[in-house]
Structures are given as structure tokens and as C-alpha cells.
Chains A and B, each alone.
Chain A
Amino acid sequence: MYPADLHYTKQHEWVRLSDGAGVVGITDYAQKELGDIVYVDLPRVGAALQQGKVMGSVESVKAVSDIYAPVSGEVVEINDALSTAPEKLNESPHGDGWLVKIRLSAPDEISTLLSAEAYQKYVAEEETGH
């Protein structure tokens, strides 16, 4: 369910590392909780992100939710396809629905994130807590 090669936050974002860059997205749990996503507000290319700080927002039909940067770094690419097809976040949250690609400024931060197994457990607790 949750890919093992991603690193997760308790705010339901993920990072996938490849060639020193990190691809960032929101998790399947997050998209399900949000419902139909209709708008995505992303940082500009070149923006400096700080771990744990707001980097953008996603809007469902009902509500706006902040997205927090899972790691610090500079935005090198954004997923332009989301501006016309925000539903990709619902359809493929861990794949085509990625948000931004960043150059990590503090790669050690990765060690503060959750493994797929730990995240899965965390989400299961969230769900039963409801």
C-alpha cells in the first residue's frame, strides 16, 4: 500500500530520493481524507523550503489544507500538470500526483521521517482513533 522507497511525515507528505534530489507528494491517506482535490497551490521554482514549514496548499471541494515541507531544500521543478489536472492527486498520490522536486539542503533530515511500515502503523492508529 505505502511504497517502501518513500519517507513519510505525520502530516501525510512523502519524499522519494533520486540522484540527490527529493520528489515530494502527499500520501494516499491524505488524498482520501481530503476527498476530490480541485486546486493545488505550489511554491515557485527556486523557492527555499524549510522542513516543517508550509510550502503550499491543496484544496478539495470542501476545504483548504496546508502542505508542509517534509525536508528543507530548493524547489527545482514543480508538477505543472496539476494546474489543469489536480485530480491526479486523488488518482495517483504516490506517482503522477507528485508535487515538487527539491534539491535537499540538509539530507540528514531524511532520518527524521517515517518508514513505510511506521507510517502505515501511524495511519492505522489515526483511523481507529476517529
Chain B
Amino acid sequence: MIKTTALHSVHRRMGAKMVDFGGWDMPLQYSGILEEHRAVRASVGVFDVSHMGEIEIHGRDAGALTDYITTNALAKLQPGQAQYAGLLYEHGGFVDDILVHKIAGDNYFLCVNASNQEKDYQHIAAANRFQATVDFASDRYTQLAIQGPRALETLQKLTSADLAAIGYYHFVDSEIAGTRALIARTGYTGEDGFEIYFAPEQSERVWNRILDAGQEFGIKPCGLGARNTLRLEAGMALYGHEIHAAITPLEAGLAWIVKLDKGEFIGRAALARQKAQGVTRKLIGFEMTGRGIGRDDYEVFLHGSPAGWVSSGGPSPTLNKNIGMCYLPAEHSKPGERIQIAIRNQLVDAVTTAAPFYKRIK
């Protein structure tokens, strides 16, 4: 059964080209991936990302459970602050990558990947030997992402919350167009922006109000196509590509979300072992120097021998280059390595480079 968001009929009516994304019928694009991508870099775009899942953890030991299932330093998180973290198996591979929002000491709000949400819930519930309840809350939220340099001005017209006062990776419990909403200064595009969570019944009204508010800035409704090119330029991981069950955070260049000294958590022992022994393969960015586009799952060659694979690759609309990320043996996973990518039986030259490819000027 194909799943849909509360805005499904709106996307259809607006003429979006739809795509099956992990069992969800989602907009791939409205006006075109390049145009939407550029709107977000230059001004503002709005994405329906309600396929993403939400899991709530409540109770006296909500913090202890959340800390035990995640890799990052939860103790440092203040109420109203969000954190990127890994949800790992004992062997150190990813169950998922998630955003943890601390609402209060006994109340955590997790944003998880669409196609992982049931698996994540089962994983967390199975680890729950604490005084905490784990609540599968996806049906209670619509999630919209408003992203780009004009995102703040757009959204500010619709809320009494002082958006400029919300720091990066912070959030407030407030309202948008009179509807209660969690407003977080987070995103998956490499731009300033917000992700908002609210009751699905209000989806169409809020969506339309945002489009109206952004009209003077040329706001574009955006699909998953632009979401992917934007996050790729920003060097952000996508589950199923840079990270999955057979990849650890240390391999994925995400050591910064692993706090081995924070106390026990699922996957800690495996990561400590891997850290002591050293990783054998690692993620690195690349850009094509020859003609062609190195795409997801293409093989990567070093001195004529197979050495790794492309986790994500494609055109960069902002840089006008063909870019990507790939896994290579750790000793070669540094910028400036000459590699080749097998593009339809032909080896095409590329060079490794440090991600992110794009950084906004703050």
C-alpha cells in the first residue's frame, strides 16, 4: 500500500511530478529540480516532508532511554535544543540517523527517516528497560521545511514567535497561522531555514499561507529532487546511501556525533573497538574532472583497480560541477586523490575533495 501525506491532493492539484520514495507517493518536483534548487539557494522554498517519522519519548527516564539509544552527548542538550545523532545496532551500524529535540527532561521528540520509522520504533521500544514510554507519533504531525535566505522573513509573517531569536538547532513550541507548531531552526539544504511540525488537519491551510507569505520573495514549492541535490552540495548523509546497517558513524565521517565517553549506549563497544583498530574505509567527497556524472552505486577505481563505490552522486546546480561522495580505503580517503569512476563501462576521471561542496555565507 502506497502511503501519502496530508498534502497529497494539494501536490497533485499543483501539478507536481510524483515519485515512489520508500513506499511514499511524494512530489519529485513541481517546476523543475534546478529551478527549485536555485530558489532555495537564492531566496526560499517550501518542502512537504511529512513522510518523515516522529517518535516521542516521555517519562521519568526519557532522558536515560534517549541517551542509551543515541550516539551524541544528550547531557549537553538544553530544553529547546535539537541534536543530530545516530541510532545504532550493537555492531555499530546505523539503524537510522535522527534529530533529537529536547522539549523537557522527561520529554524528547525524535524526527526520523520515513522508510525507517517502524523499524526505529521497534528498535527503541526493544531497548526500553527504563521508566519511559515510547510513542509512535508520525500520524499526529505534518512536517514542512521552509529553507533559504528568505525563510525567516517568510515565516515571520505567520507567527508571533521571534524567529531571529531561535538559534541554529534550537526550537520553540509556538504557532504558525494560529496553529500550534513546533518551530525548529534546522534543515537539510545547507541554508538557513526552519522545519515545522503541526497537526495534519491544518496542512493545506498552513501550506497555502506559507506560499502566500513567500510570494514576494518568489517562494517555490520544492520536491524531493531538489532536496537531494541541496543536501548533496551540503555534504549531508542520506540513509540508504552514505549510511546504513553495514556502515558505522566513524566510517561515514560522523565521528563528531559519537561521544564514546558519555556512558553506555547501543553500539558503543563496537565503535570503541573500531576506533582503537582504525577504520578501513571512509567517506570522502569527489568531483568529476572527466566528462560524465558519477552516480549512486557506481564503482570507484584507484590506479585501475576497484576500490570503492559512490554513495551519492549527481550534478551540483550551484557549482556547475558533477559531484558526489564515495567510500574508499581509509588511506586514500583524503582530498586530492585521483580516482576513476566506472560510468557505463568507461572509467572517467575524478578527484577526491573535502565535503561540504557548498557553504553558505553567514
A35:B293 contact, CB within 8 angstroms? no
B17 CB within 8 Å of chain A? yes
Is the CB–CB distance between B229 and A61 below 8 Å?
yes
How many angstroms between the C-alpha atoms of A64 and B35 in the bound complex? 19
Which residues of chain A are within 8 angstroms of B29 by Cβ–Cβ distance?
Answer: 35
Are B295 and A38 closer than 8 Å at their CB atoms? no
The answer, yes or no, to whether A36 is at the interface (CB within 8 Å) is: yes
**What residues of B have a CB within 8 angstroms of the CB of A35 in the complex?**
17, 28-29, 32-33, 225
Complex Cα gap A59–B17 (Å): 17
Q: How far is the CA of A60 from the CA of B28 in the complex (A)?
A: 13
Once A61-B33, A61-B225, A61-B315 are accepted as A-B contacts, the answer to whether A39 and B292 lie under 8 Å apart by CB is: yes
Are A38 and B315 in contact, with the CB atoms below 8 A?
Answer: yes
Range of interface residues on B (Cβ < 8 Å): 10 to 19
Checking B33, B292, B322 against A36 with a beta-carbon cut-off of 8 angstroms, the contacting residue is: B33
Does B53 have its Cβ within 8 Å of any Cβ on chain A? no
Within 8 A of A (CB), among B228-253: 229
- Report which residue of A36, A38, A61, A62 has the largest number of chain B beta carbons within 10 angstroms of its beta carbon: A61
Closest B residue to A39 by CB, please name it: B293
Given the known interface contacts A35-B29, A36-B32, A57-B344, the answer about A62 and B225 at a Cβ–Cβ threshold of 8 Å is yes
Q: In the assembled complex, which residues on chain A have CB atoms less than 8 Å from the CB atom of B291?
A: 39, 83
Find chain B residues with CB under 8 A from A59 CB.
Answer: 293
Interface residues on A, range: 10 to 19
Number of A-B contacts (CB under 8 A): 37
Report if A39-B315 is in contact (Cβ < 8 Å); known contacts: A61-B34, A62-B28.
Answer: yes
Main secondary structure of the interface of A (DSSP, over half): strand
Which residues from chain A contact B225 at a C-beta distance below 8 Å? Answer: 35, 61-62
CB nearest neighbor in A for B346: A41
Interface flag for B314 (CB, 8 Å): yes
Give complex CA distance A62, B225 in Å. 7
Chain B, Cβ-Cβ closest to A66: B344
**Hey, which chain B residues are within 8 Å of A64, CB to CB?**
293, 295, 344
| A44-85 near B? 1/0 per residue, CB < 8 Å | 000000000000010111101000000000000000000100
B90 to chain A, nearest CB (A): 36
B21-49 CB contacts (< 8 Å) to partner A: 28-29, 32-35
Q: For A61, what are the chain B residues with a Cβ–Cβ distance below 8 Å?
A: 33-34, 225, 229, 314-315, 317
13 A-B residue pairs with Cβ-Cβ distance under 8 Å, sorted by A, are A35-B17, A35-B32, A36-B32, A36-B35, A39-B291, A39-B322, A61-B34, A61-B225, A61-B315, A61-B317, A62-B33, A62-B314, A64-B344
18 new A-B pairs (CB below 8 Å) besides A61-B34, A62-B314?
A35-B28, A35-B32, A35-B33, A36-B32, A36-B33, A36-B35, A38-B315, A39-B291, A39-B292, A39-B293, A39-B315, A39-B322, A61-B225, A61-B314, A61-B317, A62-B28, A64-B293, A83-B291
Q: Which 10 A-B pairs have the closest CB atoms?
A: A61-B33, A36-B34, A38-B315, A36-B32, A36-B33, A59-B293, A39-B293, A62-B225, A61-B315, A35-B33
